[in-house]
Each structure stands twice: as structure tokens, then as C-alpha cells.
Copies of this chain bind each other. A is one copy, B any other.
Amino acid sequence: MSRNTVIDYKTKTATAGARPLKTSTLQDVARVAGVSTATVSRTLSHPDVVSESTRKRVSAAVQKTGYRINRAARNLRTQRSHSVIALLPDLANPFFSNILEGISRTLADKGYSMLVASTRQVHDSGDRLIDYLDDARADGMIILDGQLAPDVVASLEGSPHSNRILFACEWVADAPFPSVRCENRRGTAAAIDHLVALGHRKIAHVTGPQGNVLTTARKDAFVEAVGRHGLALPPEWIIDGDFSLQAGCDAARQWMAIVDRPTAVFCASDQIAMAFIAELARHDIRVPQDVSVMGFDDIDLAEQFIPPLTTIRQDRIIIGETAATMLLERIAGQVTSEARQEAVIPVSLIARKSTGAPPEG
């Protein structure tokens, strides 16, 4: 039996997908209601332009047929996908969970769906970020990863859809995209003020990953705050890390190796701070008796950590909601694409038990 390539591909497509059992369409509703498809469509999308009686007939027909709109068809016709994609650097990082919650909630309210992907995955698969917009998969994009390759950023900027992109939490320096961020500088300053008020004069900092805008913002603010208080700052008191638990462990070991140990440590994330404290505990160093440790973020677990973590709280639900709201405004064309927006979400100091007066001596 001879099967050539042509037959092959057709067979494959025909076999795959025990396709559907179709649901009713506008046509079916129109037939049942005894009106045209145009009228049915209008009844559903612009109820105020059809007469009372027609509206009732159509509604009844919709009920009877169990009609559900076919979004693929509507998307094609209206050139809108009614969905937005959220791009995370790392899907497995719980830091982003609440942000997604905020985004999703806002989108759902406005009838939008949320697609989620990670920049790493997109990159690995060889796709280009901008494709999500170019191929009509999403109407807009919220990027939570500031560490994009320069050529990726360039392609985003160059796209005709660049006005439907927004950064949240992180951002790209010098790129013309609107963004939502938290008060990184003020939060950092508040943290250092808190430690100084407790009597600390020797304060270390564990940073986020190199090349990250948050790392830079917080590190710069740290250096400035420490200087403002006239404190010494040997280079080894700035410990390079990233936002992970592992970085916290590593940093703790580096801190222990310091001869003239700082009495307080300001970490760029709660995860760092927790692992830092855990590693110290393994060496019988107590927090806050022997050293004070602060985090940044106020993740849910911070309060239940032992000791409960003093940290800088950023409301991630609000960050997500703000990002989604701003993006939807742009998608709706309510904001001129020239208006470079930047929303800054307030942070607050949450003093718990991981900070205290420096040890005697």
C-alpha cells in the first residue's frame, strides 16, 4: 500500500483531535430567534441599540441553544485577543505569586485572560518575546524581568506594538517603557535608619544578582544611607548575592569570615535573609542577639519565620493591580503612547524580631 507524503500529512491532521461536537453559533441563535446574525451580535455586544422585544427573543434563543461566543472568531474579527501575558524571570519563585494574583484579578474584572510564561522558557524555545504581541496571542505584556538581553529590548522597542508593553517590579534602564515599581530607595533608607536607631554602626548588605536594576537601586540607596549616617563601609561589607535562598547561605559564610563583623545585615530579599539566618543558626550564631538581620519584600512566611523577620513590605497585590490597570488603559488607547508613565508603590517598614540592639562590646 503506497502512502506518499501528501496523504501522510492529511491523515495525520485528520486523525489527531477527536474534534468537537460543535456548540451552537450565532447562526443557530439567529435561526431560532428568527432574526439575522447581525441582530444577535448586536444584542449581545450593544444591547441598547436593539428593541426590547428583539432583545427578549434573542435572549431566549441564546438560553435555548446554550450559545457560547466563539472567542477565536471574535478575536479574529476585532483584532483583539482579550488576553495579556505576564512574563516572569522564574515561574517557580513564590515572590511572584501575589503579583500574579493582583494582575489576574484586575484582568478578569475587565474580561481579560492572563497568559503566563517565563522569559527563560521563551528564550530557550527560540521564540521572540515580541511575537506574543505580533502574532495576536496577547493584547499586552507585563514583564517582571528587567534582565533582558539588549537585542531583546531593542526588538521590543522597535515593534509597532511597543506601546502595549509595561514593566513591573523590575525594569530596563533607559528603555522607554512605562513601569510599576516599589519605593526601592525609600525602603532601603528606612531599613538603614531603623538599624541605626537601634544603635548599629556597622552594617553590611547582601545584594541581589549582578546586573539587576533592583540590586543597583537598593545597593546605591544603601551606600547613600550609610554615608548619610557617617558610617564606615569597607568593601567586604557589601556581599554579592542574588535573590535566592542559596545566596543567603553563601553570604552568611562570607559574613562569618569577616574579622570585624558588622552587627547588622540588610538583605536585598526575604529569602536571602531567611537562609542567612538559617545558616548562622547552624553555627550557633543567634539573631538578633549576636547580629540583626533584615529582609526586603515581606513575603507571607516572613512573619512565621523564627525569629519573625524585620523587613520592608511591598504590597505585591497592589503592584499587580496597578500594572494591569495601567496596561489596560494603554491597550484601550486612553493613554498616548508618548506619555512615559512610572507608578511608584509605597513600601513600609515592618519591625519584627530579627533586629535588635547590637551586642555589647
Binding site for B on A (CB under 8 A): 5-6, 9, 15-21, 23, 46, 48-49, 68-73, 75-76, 79-81, 83, 85, 90-94, 96-98, 100-101, 104-105, 108-109, 113-118, 121-122, 125, 131, 134-137, 160-161, 163, 245, 248-249, 271, 274-275, 277-278, 281, 300-301, 303-306, 308, 317, 331-334, 337
B278 touching A135 by the CB < 8 A rule?
Answer: no
Residue of B nearest to A104 (CB): B91
Distance, CA A70 to CA B90, complexed state (A): 27
A46 touching B9 by the CB < 8 A rule?
Answer: yes
Residue of B nearest to A138 (CB): B113
Contacts of A85 in B (CB 8 A): 113
Contacts of A5 in B (CB 8 A): 48-49
- Give the distance to chain B from A311, nearest Cβ to Cβ, in Å: 15
Contacts of A105 in B (CB 8 A): 121
B275 touching A304 by the CB < 8 A rule?
Answer: yes
- Give the distance to chain B from A274, nearest Cβ to Cβ, in Å: 5
Residue of B nearest to A100 (CB): B91
Contacts of A81 in B (CB 8 A): 71-72
Provided the pairs A94-B97, A300-B245, A306-B306 are in contact, do residues A19 and B109 lie with their beta carbons within 8 angstroms?
no
- Give the distance to chain B from A210, nearest Cβ to Cβ, in Å: 22
Distance, CA A94 to CA B116, complexed state (A): 15
Distance, CA A317 to CA B333, complexed state (A): 39
Residue of B nearest to A121 (CB): B108
Residue of B nearest to A83 (CB): B115
Partner of A160, one of B23, B131, B301, B334: B23
Residue of B nearest to A94 (CB): B94
Contacts of A16 in B (CB 8 A): 332-334
Q: Which of A48, A278, A334, A337 has the largest count of B CB atoms less than 10 A from its CB?
A: A278
Distance, CA A306 to CA B281, complexed state (A): 8
Contacts of A122 in B (CB 8 A): 108
Provided the pairs A275-B304, A301-B274 are in contact, do residues A101 and B92 lie with their beta carbons within 8 angstroms?
yes
Provided the pairs A75-B75, A278-B304 are in contact, do residues A91 and B80 lie with their beta carbons within 8 angstroms?
no
Residue of B nearest to A276 (CB): B304
